[in-house]
Structure 1
Amino acid sequence: MTDGHAPGAPGGPGNAHRALRDLVMAATVRIHRAGSGYALDEPGTFLGSGFFLAPNWVLTCAHVARSGEGGEVTVVYETGPGRGTSAVAGEVAAALPEHAERPVRGTWPAPDLALVRLREPVDHDCAYVTERPAAYYEEAVVLYSGWSVVGGELRRLSGTCKVQGTLGGWSDDEQIRLGGDVLPPGVSGGPVVDLARGEVVGVLKSQADRGLGGTCTGVEQLRSLPVPADEVLAEHDDVYQAVFHAHDRYHRDRQRHPDTARSTWADVQNELGARPGRALSPEERTQLLGRLADLPPPVSTRSLLGLLESLLGGRAPIPHPAPRGWRDALGALYESSRQDGALELVLDYAMRAMSAERPFVTPGTQAAERALWEWVRQIAEGRPGPAYRRRLSQQWIERLQVPRRDPSPADARAARAAAHAADRAPRMFVLLELEQLGWEPGRCDWHVSVGHPTGEVARLRDGERAPLEDLPGVLAQPLAEAFRQCDEPGRPADLQVALPHLLLGLDVDAWELGPDEPPLGAHRPVVVRCADREQLPDGDALFAVDGKEFAPDDEQDEREARWRWIHAYGARAEVLDCEDGLRVPVPPGEWLRGLPHRTIPVLCRYGDHRFEGDPGALVRIVHGGYGVALWRRWRGQPDAVCGEFHRRAGDTVAGAGSADRLPELVHALRAGLRAGKPETFWADGIALFYDDPRRPLPGTGDLLEAP
């Protein structure tokens, strides 16, 4: 489906089209009834097809998703060639039309679209979806992908169709008519791809009653999803914005990833000769959309239309459905721009988006604005002309000088800190200590204690030589008793887990103490501490920073200074082991000591072994004088996209206001993961190191008086 802006691959199908087909099929999924168990290869549980639109979101037909019971389905997908299939539970989060019921004759009213939200995070590929508004597609050739029952077995298939026109028009029931190939049962919900541009433009809806072909729905119909009635205070409050911001950030981060041999959608689009809006390369468009998606969404459709009108004047036709997000308005610019002014129009649009009114801000909003400006400045270099570049620079300077009407991230942090101040009084806590046996590294001695607000600790139970894998069952009763002594109504006590450095990655927060119990970390704050700080490798070594040597006593002073700063003035996250998806070694202790006191180290690739072992990375952080650190237990493929973890971890740390809120914030993320909330999926496997230097563990020294 093309409008003449992209000539397609010369010479017909070739390497680019084969690569595009691989990308499409990698994102295509099949949908089964919920609770299918081991019957996922049985045609009787199969409902239809779909595709990953964004991380943990599937787009399909409403008649496919609604065929499940109670809006629950099972999504079956492949993580890569030869890796086999995996299954994950999903639920229908939105459907169009909202309240349709299957008519007697088996048809479903247009637009017949549904968004399925996965109930747990998984690693998968996502399709690239067009940002253009609907148009008449002439006789374009499109690629489709899906699943069907062939010879009694479920088989993946793809093919091509020719666009033959539309059905309906100028309303939400418009469909695109396809012909030229048989669309077998089961492919409904699969993606329809513009072969010239290399982007998904529609969703297969129906097959023809007789003969070849059928119909598909344009993906732009998702813009007609209901606008939230309540005030939007976060990105996930609006499903449409949450899905497409995640989509655009995913493709931006995938394009940046240096540790993969696979082609990206932008790579293939470039081979096809696509030129988005006659102004940008596919890579430039991917980066622009990713940066726009780092901003808060537009405050309303009306505001977007006003922005378009200010740029286009009387040449601004209103697309139908009207734009909802930054990407939609950018697509509308493509249709209205002239050849000679297309690039300037896109850059002007980016500058307007940077300064637009927002429904909310996040701790990362200012950094997102600067990143977008850097993109504008780089693209403008040497292309539109010196006078235009000067005008852009002047706009940026004016943007810096004009105070925002919306609250700054600093204001928001201060308000949260003030609201939290009354609840900072020390409370009862439970302490679990594990001692690894040198002669039996697979076994531990353990101690369960009750901690008092004064810091005094009373031993409750002890045990010896417990196998690591048996610890949840062995400790279930002692921990339950300790929790009973410390919990208050509606306020479960914190669990502090003191671990030897070789076990700091132990997933105590994932332990389930009973068959009907939630994981510990989803029910209460769970933090880890280092139980053998005095025995760490190289623990007696001197560290030098700018020629100054630090001995162990200095390390204690450094820990206390850092601890005081991040609790009094707030903190900033610093990812230490990952650069754009590539694992890098954690810097040495002397380098870590040189970071500002507001720094909280973050490890993205804990468990993705490329360099040193994970315990070595944590030892460096402990030696660097840090009492607070975040990491996640890596569960993805080596080339998995991780930009969302970097972004969200930074916002969580910066937005906390004071580091003493982090145990509760991490607990809330774990509870959200347990509840299947996609906005928390970035935190899958998250762990919090929270080791107060003013309250030593039993046996490590006298109780220190807090300042």
Structure 2
Amino acid sequence: MPDRQDPRLRTLIENATVHFHSARPGADEMWGSGFLVAPGWVLTCAHVLLGRVGEAGGDEFRVRGPGLHDGRPVAARLEACLYEGDIGAEPDEWTVLPVEQDLALVRLTDPAVRHECVWLSDRSDHPLGEDRTVYGYRPAEGGAASAWYGQATVSSQDGPYGLRLGPSNLFPEGVSGGPVLDSATGAVVAVIKSRRAEQTGGLSLAVSLMRRFEDHYPRIMAAHDVWHHGRRKEMHNWVSRQLELPGGAAGREGDAWSPVDRRQALALLAEVAPPDAPHTVTLLVRRARGDDPPGRPHLPVTWRDGHGQLYEGDQPQGAYVFLRYLRLVQLFLEAHDPAPHDPEPFDPAPADPVPVRRLGDWIEERLAWVPPSLHTNVRDATLPDGLLPARTGTVPPYPERPVVLLELEPLDDDVSRVYWTLRVDDGGEDSDVPRDGDTTGPGVELIRLRSVIARPLADAFKAVDTPELPAPLEVALDLRHFDTPVHEWQIYDSAPLWDTARQQLLGVRRSVVIRDIGRRGVPAESWERRWYGMLAGRRLTARNTVFDGGGPHARHFDDLDPGEIPVQCRRAGTGAGQHAMRRALDAGHGVALWHHGEHTGPSCGPGCDELHRSTLGFLADVTHPAELPERLRRIREHISKGNGRHWADSVAVLYDDPRRPLPAEEGVFDAP
């Protein structure tokens, strides 16, 4: 493969690439490679430091590179690691860190040390191709390290973050943790993870995996962008070299968005208040583009990440699209008037006391280079309805906001095991497309389900939650599983950074409702007729539907008025309660309440009477069915702050809207 590397760009990246050593005298072994991403910050693979930084991962070690402190060793410590195991444990020959956990952030202990920094791609997607160059170090005699680089082909993707490097590439020991450069755009797009054990080629990690460093990523990227903007007057910098590459739109004439524009825009975005939630960025990107980004972009954490979703193929879209996005950011910040955050010691200092106004001034300045016919696309931009400031204390009616949907399909021959599918309905074009799931093989035991889906569910919540409005969770279940206490689950880290109660029960933090997985596809006429009748009515009332001596007949449910809500004091998945709930579903009821705990005995008692009295009063205060899930959540939030039992502790709610039917089943599930 011919060498396509720009020699000046090669000098820049070599000066930003480093290697690690022990701080102990005489321990000269080189551990692996890394690279400088912002002032004082080094990115590497977690496995490079595994078993080498002390039992708690706090031991000091040394970082060395030609562009760092005149090539002299610099003290550093591990600051953050995605690895969920013991970073201090000695690895064995079988230790292979998962792709999603093999990144680490190293911090130089002396913040005054000056050094080069790589340019990190802002994009989530990294197209396959041949124009990649891998940098790093390999061991040399006497514990020294020898600089190495080689060209590579990205042949395939391995999950959301893994990028496979082609079989014609051979990587030496020690290069793990080094940067992977896209030679066409002049941006670092990945971190080299490993070479293949018995063949040539290897695996790299997309730099978008850095977004999992929730506590550090926004500040590091802001510092990265401010640092690069500060180097703009130097003759040879990353952006000046990018202008000469095939992926750089060099001109400022017309509607081309150049690396110079990108550098200026990202520096301005680094100075304003960060987004309140990833979903805010997603909505602004969708409004700026006029459609959803191609593929499935990784969760945008910063305004910078949103900028990276405005490309089409290998090239940026027109300048007016980027300016429209910047204008929407400006409008959002002005509308919500965010309070300034207290800077951390490593935060970039604001260059202007009114950074939002400065952003607006630059938009107008840059707009002068865009054809006048496109100016209105920028100046007339308006915020999506979902981002307009809400009145204090108001919550949009259910489900006029994003919804997370978890579908649990039991196996035909083993009801204790399920296949699961996770979707996010945020109004986008791919809302019906599964986000994650397991729909083949032996499935998952229902009793183990919570631990299996904890991470995917937490990621789905982070994609659409806002500080004021956590997304509702809809769980589509087979009737036999209706009593699964999903609202009592704890999904660790399901709450974002702004939430101090990160271990709240799901039903305390967000509305949790049950849906019938048997109602896929086109709604039945009885279901629609009863639902619209309920909406047209002026009040809801509770109706006891499980009686001593057995369940009711089908006519009992058929004869209920649309506003009469079935309430039962017995479990819905077994016995008389299951019989009653089956009748309710067959009669087209879309809303029902039931007690999913154990019944006190064969006959009803005082607890059953309390449930029916309480639900009667509860529903009398509901002026519209769409209020019901949020009202129940508020009760759970209230009782979570005190002690004692409450009628709502063990109550589940069916809220199954035929206007939003579950997606029709695609294909046939594999047999276990």
TM-score (norm 2): 0.49
Higher helix residue share:
1
